[in-house]
Amino acid sequence: MGQRRRAGTVNTSSSQRFSGAPAQAARKHNICMVSDFFYPNMGGVESHIYHLSQCLIEKGHKVMYNQSTATTCFHSLPLLRCVFVRERITVVHAHSSFSAMAHDALFHAKTMGLNTVFTDHSLFGFADISSVLTNKLLTVSLCDTNHIVCVSYTSKENTVLRATLNPEIVSVIPNAVDPTDFTPDPSQRQDDRITIVVISRLVYRKGIDLLGGIIPELCLKHPDLHFLIGGEGPKRIVLEEVREKYQLHDRVRLLGALEHKDVRGVLVQGHIFLNTSLTEAFCMAIVEGASCGLQVVSTRVGGIPEVLPEDLITLCDPTVGSLCAGLETVIARQRSGFVPSPASIHAHVRNLYTWRNVAERTEKVYDQVAGEGVLPFNRRLQRLRAHCGPVAGSIFAFVAVLDFLFLLFLQWLVPDRVMDIAVDATGPHGLWRQETSSINRTHLKPAIKREAERENISQ
């Protein structure tokens, strides 16, 4: 198996390690992104993984993606081992506490002696049964993970408390938005009305019940107010009932699920972007709305106060009364014309969060964990029992032993040396690019030779 020996650890804090200091050497990594959430499904995690991967490939790293929604701990080991060995993976980067595949991949990668990184995209509570079970699973998964990334400082505090982690191994790297995908276009607005845009999954934690209370109250006070709502989910019935009860069919449009390419076309039709989330680690939707030049009104929950400057967002308590008051303030400002132009808002937002900056900071995390190594198996068992409690720790230590024995059996059955290595076909140094360049040179040589002959003849 060849467990790697631990190199000398660095005692500096994570904020110092990844604050932008130049790297000593440009190290290239083979990265496996793992999550249950990816395209064609839409959401913040899916968008984060896709754009981060594209920027990492642009920087010369090899990135591949693993997605599954029907795995069990031992069933996934043969599949993941095949991927990790064939793709020569050096870093396994798992995303989202909700992803079963992410937890499986972290567990097996550590058994195989691979470096691991985990990004947490959500906030959890501590009181209900679901949160208690999820937090215990997260404690097991992260107790020997090399490094953890959170998308906001609120998310970092939440994750450190939930998984009882050392804050030194947790970094904050926010989400980002591609500003070229979200540009303002005031010509798409209708001047005879004020349009409030909501783009969200229609689920409880996104505050759709609050939205159902806001719509009739504001529509009664403002006859020229319209709502444009994009998204799908089980709470759609709440909005349909409100629209039917108050006869607002011509003022409340439910667009259903939107593809990512269609989001900008909806945003530019609005004047105000409304977010009613009850919990949020980092809300990418409000950055997209501001990038399109909209005034943003949002609940003051989770990491949202960290996302935008105070002059670009109006924060409210997660109640119908507070949100209505905040919206009326912004509506009055919109009517009076004392609002920044969409172009100026876009210019302010476009440099706040960029995927290239996120990729650079994530690259520093990979460089750091590549020098740390992985815990030897005996120390891993000791940490599981010490960190996760006498009962859960002993259970998962026993599962880790079974996982190790299963890996030994798979290595005996199909040794690593007989497994075909996958061809690196994509990326800046990929085989396809090299073959294309070779073909171009092959075709150009005869043309250059003929041109030289013509010059000789003419002379």
How many angstroms separate the CA atoms of 452 and 400, rounded?
69
How many angstroms separate the CA atoms of 196 and 227, rounded?
5
Claim to verify: residue 58 and residue 116 sit in the same structural domain: yes
Report if residue 442 sits inside a domain: no
- Choose one of 303, 318, 351: the last residue of a domain: 351
Provide the pLDDT for residue 74. 78
Domain that holds residue 54: 28-176+354-419
Measure CA 440 to chain center: 38
Average pLDDT of the segment spanning 164-188: 92
Provide the pLDDT for residue 425. 66
> Can you give the pTM of this predicted structure?
0.81
Provide the pLDDT for residue 19. 46
DSSP string, 430-446: -HHHHHHHHHHHHHHHH
Claim to verify: residue 207 and residue 341 sit in the same structural domain: yes
Report if residue 434 sits inside a domain: no
Provide the pLDDT for residue 433. 57
Report if residue 210 sits inside a domain: yes
**Residue 113 pLDDT more than 50?**
yes
- Choose one of 301, 335, 351: the last residue of a domain: 351
Are 92 and 32 contacting, i.e. CB atoms less than 8 angstroms apart?
Answer: yes
Average pLDDT of the segment spanning 62-85: 81
The better pLDDT of the pair 421, 442 is held by: 421
**Residue 400 pLDDT more than 60?**
yes
Claim to verify: residue 404 and residue 360 sit in the same structural domain: yes
Are 152 and 286 contacting, i.e. CB atoms less than 8 angstroms apart?
Answer: no
Claim to verify: residue 95 and residue 184 sit in the same structural domain: no
DSSP assignment, residue 247? Answer: T
Claim to verify: residue 404 and residue 292 sit in the same structural domain: no
Claim to verify: residue 381 and residue 406 sit in the same structural domain: yes
Claim to verify: residue 84 and residue 184 sit in the same structural domain: no
pLDDT digits (tens, 9 = 90+) for 125-153: 887 787 888 888 899 999 889 999 999 99
Report if residue 186 sits inside a domain: yes
| CATH classification at residue 146 | 3.40.50.2000
Report if residue 439 sits inside a domain: no
Claim to verify: residue 333 and residue 407 sit in the same structural domain: no
**Residue 20 pLDDT more than 80?**
no
Report if residue 274 sits inside a domain: yes
Report if residue 212 sits inside a domain: yes
